[in-house]
Amino acid sequence: VDAVAQRLLSGLKDPGSFATKTWTTDNQARLAAMQNEQTMMRLVILVITLVAAFSVMNTTITVTTQKRREIGVLTALGCRERQIISVFVIQAGIVACLGVLLGLLGSFLVLWLRNDVRELIARATGGQVHAIEGVFLAQIPARVEAADVWFAIGISLVLCLVAAFLPAWRAARVDAAVALREG
């Protein structure tokens, strides 16, 4: 945009008597607010993803604790650590995939109904929602970027699988005799 403005000025015989203004210079505050919103949304999504990963980790810890005797039996029968770990990591992967699927469906539903939700909030509070510097928008603008969606899916799955690995690894290292005796 700035390059186009400079080209326009350079094409004039007397560029000193003219000035160019771009949308970005006139609306720097709006752009900064929108970039700040985008950064905060990414931070919120990261926190939600971390909470989900800790939930998967907690579930895996609970399951491995409850299945301690069965893990001892499998170890006594000759199962390798890798096989026991894979059972719990696959279980966590299934839970993570279901969570991602439900999250995507919920996200797209909220995105689709965003203007209705805005109107509902406005009616409930008696005010306007989503104002930028006093300019009220008719609709909340939204654009789904495929790269952002795939990034969120990837991060969610990886964090959940990594979160499940530690409790699965600890469960696989249980001594069979101790697990059978305590179980």
Residue 183 has pLDDT above 70, yes or no: no
Q: Look at residue 140 and tell me if it is in a domain.
A: yes
Distance CA 177, CA 76 (A): 8
Q: Look at residue 7 and tell me if it is in a domain.
A: no
pLDDT in tens, 60-100: 999 998 988 899 899 889 999 999 999 999 999 999 999 99
Q: Look at residue 177 and tell me if it is in a domain.
A: yes
Say which residues have a Cβ less than 8 Å from residue 126's Cβ, sequence separation at least 6: none
- Please, what is the Cα angle at 174 between 173 and 176, to 5 degrees? 125
State how far Cα 23 lies from the chain centre.
31
Q: Which two tokens stand for residue 146?
A: 């495929």
Q: Look at residue 134 and tell me if it is in a domain.
A: yes
Q: Look at residue 79 and tell me if it is in a domain.
A: yes
More confident residue, 99 or 14: 99
Q: Look at residue 125 and tell me if it is in a domain.
A: yes
Q: Look at residue 14 and tell me if it is in a domain.
A: no
Give the residue among 71, 54, 78 at the shortest CA–CA distance from 168.
71
pTM for the predicted model, two decimal places: 0.71
Distance CA 27, CA 97 (A): 41
Number of domains in the chain: 1
pLDDT in tens, 117-167: 888 888 888 876 665 555 666 777 788 889 989 999 999 999 999 999 999
- Structural domain boundaries enclosing 123: 28-182
pLDDT in tens, 24-37: 777 888 888 888 98
Q: Look at residue 6 and tell me if it is in a domain.
A: no
